[in-house]
Chains A and B, each alone.
Chain A
Amino acid sequence: MGFFHQAFVITVKDLRAELRTKEAVNSSFAFALVILLLFSFAFDSFEETTQQMAGGLLWIVFAFAGTLILNRSFARELPNDCLDALIAAPISGAALFLGKAIANFVLVMAVELISLPVFGIFSNVHWTRQFPELMLVLVLGSWGMTIIGTIFSALTVNIRLREVMLPMLTYPILIPPLMGAMQLTSGLVAGTPIAPDTVVWLKVLIGFDVVYTAVSLFLVETVLVG
């Protein structure tokens, strides 16, 4: 079995486990819905300023809801010592990590894609005007979030206060990609395409994704084996 095939097997396994219980996706989506509702109370959706910060609000929702999925990623393997079995399995830590990251990415994207129309309705935003570019930003931002979330999920799986520690550790690191995604999304949902002066944010997103994917794949063996 090649590296990517191994990763694929892990992805399928994680997705199947999630589809059977749906606990992470359901709770994450419910949480996203509650935050969107609270935002509608906090900000008047007919005001100009709310439209301008639409991207920021959206990514706050995604970051909060994503954490719930990422928190479960490695914690799900704790009962029955599944995690030890996975580590002892004849696949590399990097393949295990990549597989889990892709599964998380699919779940995070699913929650985001369901929240997006809800957000559009609640906040009175016509978000489909720059659809392909918005999807690109969504994919890049979510991958950055997933890769950091997955490696830190592995770091925090055995420690006290796991649920609190994960967001505390990931959000500061995620500031550059979140900032970039927020800036780009605000423009895109308002209907303006990515211009030469905002393309630097796309570079930040791509750079962040590439660098952290490489570093995570390199260091994950140390994290898993201890």
Chain B
Amino acid sequence: MRDKIMYGLGALAILILINDIIHIMGLPDEVNQGAIFKIIFFHVPVAITALTAAAVALIASVLFLVTRNFFYDALAVAVTEVGLAFLAANLVTGSLWGRVIWGVYWAWDARLTSALVCWLLYAGYLMLRHAIEEPTQRATFAAVFSIFAFIDVPIVIFSIKWWRTQHPQPVFWGGGSFPSDWLPYFLWNMLAMLLIGAVLTMTRLRQEESQRELDYLRRLAHSM
């Protein structure tokens, strides 16, 4: 049943994406930035998916510390890993956009830098997990680290913003330049990305369960 839901959601996401990409291809170029502006249809949804992943990781970590239920630990790893993949996609698209508009791949701009710092923080989470053998200790320490990392995200964003900023202000509200008739396509893309993120997380979650089964079988084999 769970597999069926997963495959269904995945297929739905891909259908939405294909439909949306065809529509977006048909849109005219943006006035100031030309074709490259369309990268926003991808760039922003993956960023929001990554942020959602970080928030879910925080909730899962807190729930693990409260309930000591290993399901939440598995959820935290799964969602962190998927979030990292999405954040990497966000960084790459952002840096290619910067190459066209700013002339350089990496401008040490506030959001680029804070996204990179977040990426490093959550990569540290995965490395910490790799380094600890004992499951309970691994889950506890990883959860604590996840909470620390999540608290750091707003501080990082605030301080780097103060440090230096070139990133365009959000174009969606407050008199932004985003054409309002393009918004539906953007929102559809966003839904598709969130769905893909959810499907990937579920797949990873199942793997984490298989891993636990494997560990159990190993112990069993060892004890005989």
Contact = CB atoms under 8 A, between A and B. Distances in A.
The answer to whether A binds B is yes
A176 interface: yes
Contact of B145 (A169, A201, A208): A169
A172 B122 CA distance: 10
B163 A179 contact: yes
Interface string B113-152: 0000100110010011001110011001100110111011
B160 interface: yes
Interface in A135-177: 148, 151, 155-156, 158-161, 165, 168-169, 172-173, 175-176
A169 B126 CA distance: 10
B169 to A, nearest CB: 19
Contact of B147 (A172, A204, A207, A219): A219
Interface residues on A, range: 20 to 34
Contacts of A222: 65, 140, 144
Contacts of B140: 222-223, 226
Interface residues of B, number: 28
Interface in A117-131: none
Interface string B202-216: 000000000000000
A6 to B, nearest CB: 22
B149 A173 contact: yes
Nearest to B152: A173
- The majority secondary structure among interface residues of chain B is helix
Contacts of B120: 172
A57 B163 CA distance: 17
A204 B159 contact: yes
Nearest to B163: A179
Contacts of A85: none
A1 interface: no
A77 B220 CA distance: 35
B159 A176 contact: yes
A140 to B, nearest CB: 14
B148 A204 contact: no
A160 B144 contact: no
Contacts of A179: 159-160, 163
Nearest to B120: A172
Interface core residue of A156, A172, A201 (most chain B CB under 10 Å): A172
B159 A161 contact: no
Nearest to A204: B159
A42 B159 CA distance: 28
Interface in A200-226: 200-201, 204, 207-208, 211-212, 215, 219, 222-223, 226
A204 B131 contact: no
Given A155-B144, A173-B149, A226-B136, A160 B159 contact: no
A206 B32 CA distance: 42
A180 interface: yes
Interface core residue of A173, A179, A201 (most chain B CB under 10 Å): A173
A186 B118 CA distance: 26
B162 interface: yes
Contacts of A212: 148, 151
Contacts of B14: none
A223 B141 CA distance: 6
B115 to A, nearest CB: 12
29 contacts: A148-B148, A151-B148, A155-B128, A161-B131, A165-B128, A168-B124, A169-B124, A169-B127, A169-B128, A169-B145, A172-B121, A173-B149, A175-B156, A176-B152, A176-B156, A176-B158, A176-B160, A179-B159, A179-B160, A183-B163, A204-B155, A204-B159, A207-B155, A208-B155, A215-B148, A219-B144, A223-B141, A226-B136, A226-B137
Given A156-B131, A169-B127, A223-B140, 18 more contacts: A155-B128, A155-B141, A155-B145, A156-B128, A160-B133, A169-B124, A169-B145, A172-B152, A173-B148, A173-B152, A176-B152, A204-B155, A204-B159, A204-B162, A215-B148, A219-B144, A222-B140, A226-B136
Interface of A: 148, 151, 155-156, 158-161, 165, 168-169, 172-173, 175-176, 179-180, 183, 200-201, 204, 207-208, 211-212, 215, 219, 222-223, 226
